Structure formats: structure tokens, C-alpha cells
Structure 1
Amino acid sequence: MIAIINGKINTITQGILEKGSILIENGKIKAIGETLEIPNDARIIDATNKWVTPGIIDAHTHLGVYEETIGWAGADGNEMTDPATPHVRAMDAINPHDQGFKDAVRGGVTTVQIMPGSANVIGGEMSIVKTYGRVVEEMIVKELSGVKIAFGENPKRVYGEKKQMPSTRMGTAAVLRENLVKAQNYLRKKEEGKADPAKAPETDLRMETLIKVLKREIPVRAHAHRADDIMTAIRIAEEFQLDLTLEHCTEGHLIADIIAEKGIPAAVGPTMTNRSKIELGERGWHTLVALDQAGVPISIITDHPVIPIEYITIAAAVAVREGLSEETAWKALTINPAKHMGIEDRVGSLEAGKDADIVIWSGNPFDYITKVEMTMIDGKIVYQRDNINI
């Protein structure tokens, strides 16, 4: 058993303990509070004058599928040979030895969602992993956590240059609808095949993924920056009764009331970057503030490697400087992305029974000079700063 004692603990969901303790056993949080009895045989980690928080969660990354420093050899996030590739899996391209994973644990990031890029209208399957492990199988939290779909400039540019559909926003929407209708027909034939095997279709991996979407077993996660693209994503999701999350949501502030009314969560960002294309012209911290004020559940993302993943808390701190409340910023790094990905029963807050994904900081994590002193994943110390005795 491990006992973290005397720390300023931000539980996220149950307030801040000014001098609290956490008991960890078998990779889980056994107990948390200010008056815990510490077993004699527990390994003591003294967090006096330090902050203790849940592991940070990034709901939108390309960690391990867009490896740093090695160019095309590590660029495995976009299968740019067909605008609809629902059957490709980010999991099959994740390299756990990508430098980004080491940066993640040094930055206190313990859980990430890894997804294909946005070149295709339907980009493929995504997975949720912890940020430490030798092989993906040791890291997986959820093998299939959603299907990437994309609107706006990226798919129309990629396929417009190939002189094929889609070369317009109209074409992007049409390709998505066409494939969802194919999946509906495939699903109907599969149902008919239960009674009459002769009517059963041959297995189609593309359609097998999309029928999970139609059944709302998994969400579609829509890359959309402009307000009109966001509305197209919502329109099609409602037509086919899909479970939807918004990814990037750069112009979300223009339609925050509509997004809130629809009850759709938004993974917002990366905001700490330049306006590299026209659809990012409205990029700014005001989007997070406006969405929060409207009642939209927001998550702060890096889109790693667009923003290096270890700077996610810096992004949150800047959002606070620009008007987001500190409480909301913490939720946007922890419990909100956990809910966004459907794993809030395991991570996102410090509560008894949840995974012992815990970060000990030298001070307030929103102070840019604060350092991560220790990162734990499933109760195992996966990073400890040199020359620090805790």
C-alpha cells in the first residue's frame, strides 16, 4: 500500500483538501480524506507544501501515430487513399516508444485519446490509452472509443487536389451520408440474415465499424472549426440519430447557445497555436469562455503534436488568464474529458475506487514555473523528477 500524505489535494469533484492524504492499493484509490488512518506498513510519500491532482487527460491527440522528428516514416495518422476509411484503426499505428509519451508523463498527462487525422471524411477508429507501457495492449483503456469524421478545409483540399470527391463542403457531407446509408442497408441485410442466412451479406469491415455508430455503441467525433461545419456535423448526426462530440469547435462561440441546447460536449483547441489556415481565423481563448458560459461541457486539448502535450496545463492557465474560471479549467483537464470519452468511472477525479492516476506538483500547476515532481499511473510511479525526495 502507498500513502500520499500532507498534500494540497484537488479532488476535482469533491473540493480541495488543504492537508489531505490518499491511500492506494492494487492500482486503485482506496481512500481519500484529511483524517485517514495510515497503515504502519504503507509506503509514505510526503507531499507537504505540494499540490496533488488527478492525472491530466487529453481527449484529442495523435500521440504515437504522428511521431516527432522522423518525418514520413512516423506519419501514420492519415490513410489518404480513400475519403471513407472507417475500418482503419489508430491502435494499429501507435508507437508506445514515441518521445511524446515520455513528455506526457513528465507533464502529468496520464490518459489520452489517440485518433486518426482529418484528411478523410471518415478517418477511422480511435482508442484511449494510458501514457505509459511497453506495448499498446498494456496501455489500453478503451480499444474503440469513437470514429473520426471531418468537415471543412482538410478533406476538400486533400481530395480536391486529387480531382476526386469531395472537393467541396457539399461533397464532404454527401460522402458521409452515402456511407451511413450503405451502413443502414448493410445492417438491414445482417438482420435479415439472422432468419435467412442466404440473405446475409459478406463481412465488410468498413460497414462493421459504421453499424456500431448507427447503433450508438460508439460516437462520431467531428473535426469541425467553422460554425457552418459544426452545424453540418450536428445536422447529419440528427438525421442518422448518432452520438456526436465536437472536436476543435473553433467558431463554437458564434453558436454556443445552439451547441448547449443540443447537449453536445466540445473538445476545444488547440488554442495555443497560430492561425495556420482560413478556418482558424476566429481562433481564440474567448471560445472556451463563451462555450462554458452557455453551459457546454468543454475539454482543453493539445491536438498533439500541434501543441506538445506537456504544455496542456500552460494552455489551461492562459485560458484562466483570459477569463475562464480556474475551477472550470481544472474540470476541462480532468473530469470533462473523462466524460467526453465515456471513462469517468475510472479517471478524471480523485475518488475512492478510481484508478490511482495521480500527479504531485511542486506548486500550483497553473503557475508556469511549477514542475511535475511525480506521476503515477494505476498506482505505479512512472515518472519522478531527478533529485526529488518525496
Structure 2
Amino acid sequence: MVIKNVRIITCQDSQVVEQGYVEVKEGKITAVGQGEYTGNDPEVLDGQGGFLTPGFIDAHCHLGMWEEGLAFEGDDGNEETDPCTPQLRSLDAINPRDRAFGEALSYGITTVVTGPGSANPIAGQICAMKTWGNVIDDMVVRFPCAMKFALGENPKNTYSDKSQQPVTRMAIASIIREQLYKARRYQQDLERSQEDEDTDPPDYDIKCEALLPVLRRQIKAHVHAHRADDICTALRLFREFDLDGVIIHGTEGYLVADAIRKAGVPVVCGPIITTRGKPELANACRENPMLLMEAGVPVSINTDANELPIDMLLTSAAIAAGAGSRPLLWEKALEMVTIRSAEAAGISDRVGSIAPGKDADLCLFRQPPVGLLVRPEWVMIDGKFTHQSSNPL
């Protein structure tokens, strides 16, 4: 298939192809060109001058783990019986038939990074998945793509009611640190047993096993942190264990932007559209993403759905992009919900931009997509039309 006569917003090195075409074969992008298509592919779709973008990515949400319209029956996001649960797999809890997946798809969101909540200091394994499909195993982009950690108010409130650790920020960090040290020792014992046949391997430990990819920097460490002091604690843990870290939410990130920049750590900001409904949000401001970007920090935008409806992702990007002293062009703002989100999840080899070799996750718009509830004319995932307002062919 070839999609021709489109303005291609590649989200790859800020490149925009004013009049071009994209070739798709077997679910992958195989060519991106400028000008008229002169090949012989029999299946050609005329985009009629529309805007062609990558599918959008929500870099942090909880789709399918807190199901829309359900209470306890659909609440599978927080295992509040143990503050340290790295062995939990979001893959075993996500219901891909949650109606929010369809709503995401209708607004061009083709990939979501969804996982456990923030009740536990170590909460479990996060999944990056497509928003179209019936069987979650077939929808996965990468699992696990990250491990969920949480600092601050949520673990404190969860366990203070149970008269159990942690009830202070000290204890939260201590639980994380202790388990990472155990996992590091477990890793060392495993390596010794592999190098020396006379050395027995350690007894199997499912918590330590789950943390090995984090210690090896094979997956990201996503840390829920709102307050500036919690952000700095996360940076300290990243340094101590040499983790490939990402700050999630980063509400007060603008107060410690230089420290985040020096650490080389990205921030997934959001939800942007929210009230100051708890003490950690007292200093929330919509300028935060732009202030972080101006400081040199890689920034992506998330909805934290179901905290904010998933269909507000592009609206959130528009608000964030316009909130700073130097508003972003919408083409640049689009990167906060495409390539920057993909990088924060460790999946930019698959999705996040329009480039040869990447998944053919594409959206066609008749107007710039960064705005209030703007819907695409059609959405494609892996080269297949999955949502359309009219028959594209």
C-alpha cells in the first residue's frame, strides 16, 4: 500500500515532508518519499493533502487495569497487601476489552504504556501495547518495558492505614533500596554459579528475578514522583544502582530542572488537565513541561488514564505546548506524544515516528491534530485500518 499526497509529520528529527508519500508492506513502513509516487504498487490511497502523523503514544496510563464503568470488579491496579511486588505482571491484569481502548483508538492513540498503580514502592511490571486487538499477547509491543516504582504520598497513605511500613518517605526509599540490593546480590550469586560449576545457584527468588532486567538496564525504571524532594530521591536511586530511569508525573520538576537535566533523565508529565486535589499537587502548573524542555530535559505527555480520559492526550499536549513563554509549534508539540513517549518507554525502535522499518501505525487528519478533541479521519495499526470515519479506499 502507498499513501500519497500527504503532509508527513515524521516526528523524526523534526522533519516535515510537505508533499510526500509513505509505502507500507507487511505492517511496516518501507519508504518515505517526497513528491509524486512513481512506483507500481496497485494499492494507492490519495491523502488529498491531509496531515499524516505517527500513531500517538500515552507514555503512562492504566488502561485495562481500572476498567471504565466498573468499581472493585474492574480494579486490578494496586496489590495493597505487600509494599514490594516487582513480580506482578500487568499483562495478567489488563482487559483489552475495556471500552477505553476503543476511545483511545478513535483519537489516534495507537500505543499505550499501561501498568500498576502507585500504592506500592515497587509495584510491578509495565506493558507497552497497541490499542487494537482481542488477545493481549498479540497486542504487546514490549513486555516488560519498565518496572513501576512509587515515591511520596500514595504509598504513605496506603500503608499508614494498615499500621505497616512504609509510613514515611524514608521507609519508602528503604524498601526500594533493600530490594534492589537483594536483587543485586542475587545477580552476583547467579553469575558466580554460571562461572564456577562447583558453586550452587541461589534459591529461586521471583522478586529478585523480576528486578534483574532493571539492574541490567534492559528495561526502564519508571518512578512515580510529584514533589521536588521525591524527584531528587528518584535521581539518587538511579545513580546508586545505575538504572535507566524515567520520572513519571514530575509535577514539581520545574523546581529542580537543572538536577534532572544533569542526570540525563526524561520526564513524563501529566495529567496536565487536573485540579490540585492533593497536597503533592499544590505547586502544579501547566508551564512545567515547557519549563523542563527549556532546561534541556526530554519531555513527554501522559493522561494517567483513568485519572484523565485517554482521549484528552492531544488536548493535553496542546495546553502544555501553549503554556510556556515561547509556545511550541504544533509539529514540535506532537513529538511529546510520539517519539519522546516512545523513548521514555524504550520502544522507539518500533513506534513513535514515521521512518522505514518502524510499525505502520499512522493517522490521517484534515486539520492540525494538536488541539481540543481533534479526531483523525482514519487510523492504521500495523498497516491495517482499525478506525475510520469513512472508507479510505
Say whether the 8 Å CA contact 2:184–2:215 is kept in structure 1. Answer: yes
Once the 2 structures are TM-superposed, how far is the Cα of residue 361 of structure 1 from its aligned partner? 1.2
Say whether the 8 Å CA contact 2:220–2:346 is kept in structure 1. Answer: no
Match of 1:190 in 2: 190
Quick one: structure 1 residues 203 and 274, their matched pair in 2 at CA, closer, same or farther if it must change by over 3 Å? Answer: same
Q: Give, in whole Å, the separation in 2 of the partners of 1:243 and 1:124.
A: 16
Which of 353, 367, 371 matches 2:375?
Answer: 371
1:79-126 superposed Cα distances (whole Å, 9 cap, x missing partner): 111000000010111111110110111010011111110000000011
The letter of the residue matching 1:5 is: K
2:308 is paired with a residue whose SS is: coil
1:14-45 superposed Cα distances (whole Å, 9 cap, x missing partner): 52222221111111112122224344453232
Which of 331, 339, 345 matches 1:335?
Answer: 339
Q: How many residues align?
A: 388
1:57 is paired with a residue whose SS is: strand
Gaps of 5+ in 2: none
2:22 is paired with a residue whose SS is: strand
TM-score, reference length from structure 2: 0.95
Report which stretch shifted further, 8-17 or 88-97. Answer: 8-17
Once the 2 structures are TM-superposed, how far is the Cα of residue 241 of structure 1 from its aligned partner? 1.7
The letter of the residue matching 2:109 is: V
Match of 2:98 in 1: 98
1:213 is paired with a residue whose SS is: helix
Match of 1:280 in 2: 281
Report which stretch shifted further, 325-334 or 65-74. Answer: 325-334
Match of 1:32 in 2: 32
Q: Give, in whole Å, the separation in 2 of the partners of 1:288 and 1:78.
A: 28
Q: Give, in whole Å, the separation in 1 of the partners of 2:108 and 2:236.
A: 37
Match of 1:156 in 2: 156
Match of 1:301 in 2: 302
Report which stretch shifted further, 48-57 or 375-384. Answer: 48-57
Quick one: structure 1 residues 310 and 38, their matched pair in 2 at CA, closer, same or farther if it must change by over 3 Å? Answer: farther
Question: Aligned ranges for residues 52-71 of structure 1 at < 5 Å?
Answer: 52-71=52-71
Q: Give, in whole Å, the separation in 2 of the partners of 1:90 and 1:253.
A: 31
Say whether the 8 Å CA contact 2:215–2:241 is kept in structure 1. Answer: yes
1:199 is paired with a residue whose SS is: coil
Match of 1:237 in 2: 238
Report which stretch shifted further, 243-252 or 187-196. Answer: 187-196
Once the 2 structures are TM-superposed, how far is the Cα of residue 375 of structure 1 from its aligned partner? 0.4
Match of 2:247 in 1: 246
Say whether the 8 Å CA contact 2:219–2:346 is kept in structure 1. Answer: no
2:377 is paired with a residue whose SS is: strand
Match of 1:349 in 2: 353
Match of 2:328 in 1: 325
Q: Give, in whole Å, the separation in 1 of the partners of 2:19 and 2:62.
A: 37
Report which stretch shifted further, 275-284 or 363-372. Answer: 363-372
Match of 1:267 in 2: 268
Percent of aligned pairs with the same residue? Answer: 42
1:257-312 superposed Cα distances (whole Å, 9 cap, x missing partner): 11011100111111111112100112122110110001100001011111111111
Q: Give, in whole Å, the separation in 1 of the partners of 2:247 and 2:53.
A: 26
Quick one: structure 1 residues 114 and 369, their matched pair in 2 at CA, closer, same or farther if it must change by over 3 Å? Answer: closer
1:180 is paired with a residue whose SS is: helix
The letter of the residue matching 2:264 is: G
Say whether the 8 Å CA contact 1:363–1:371 is kept in structure 2. Answer: no
The letter of the residue matching 1:266 is: V
1:184-206 superposed Cα distances (whole Å, 9 cap, x missing partner): 22223223333256632221110
Say whether the 8 Å CA contact 1:49–1:363 is kept in structure 2. Answer: no
Gaps of 5+ in 1: none
Say whether the 8 Å CA contact 1:373–1:388 is kept in structure 2. Answer: no
The letter of the residue matching 2:232 is: M
1:236-255 superposed Cα distances (whole Å, 9 cap, x missing partner): 22112222111000000001
Say whether the 8 Å CA contact 2:62–2:115 is kept in structure 1. Answer: yes
1:351-378 superposed Cα distances (whole Å, 9 cap, x missing partner): 1221110001121112436321100001
Report which stretch shifted further, 343-352 or 73-82. Answer: 343-352
Q: Give, in whole Å, the separation in 1 of the partners of 2:374 and 2:268.
A: 25
The letter of the residue matching 1:363 is: Q
Say whether the 8 Å CA contact 2:24–2:30 is kept in structure 1. Answer: yes
The letter of the residue matching 1:233 is: A
Say whether the 8 Å CA contact 1:104–1:310 is kept in structure 2. Answer: yes
Q: Give, in whole Å, the separation in 1 of the partners of 2:334 and 2:103.
A: 20
Q: Give, in whole Å, the separation in 2 of the partners of 1:371 and 1:216.
A: 37
Once the 2 structures are TM-superposed, how far is the Cα of residue 178 of structure 1 from its aligned partner? 1.2
2:96 is paired with a residue whose SS is: coil
Say whether the 8 Å CA contact 2:364–2:376 is kept in structure 1. Answer: yes
Once the 2 structures are TM-superposed, how far is the Cα of residue 214 of structure 1 from its aligned partner? 1.8
Q: Give, in whole Å, the separation in 1 of the partners of 2:42 and 2:370.
A: 31
The letter of the residue matching 1:362 is: R
The letter of the residue matching 2:328 is: S
Q: CA RMSD in A?
A: 1.6
2:59 is paired with a residue whose SS is: strand
The letter of the residue matching 2:11 is: I
TM-score, reference length from structure 1: 0.95
Say whether the 8 Å CA contact 1:127–1:140 is kept in structure 2. Answer: yes
Query: Given the alignment of the two structures, is residue 169 of structure 1 paired with residue 172 of structure 2, yes or no?
Result: no
Q: Give, in whole Å, the separation in 1 of the partners of 2:63 and 2:353.
A: 23
Q: Give, in whole Å, the separation in 2 of the partners of 1:53 and 1:234.
A: 34
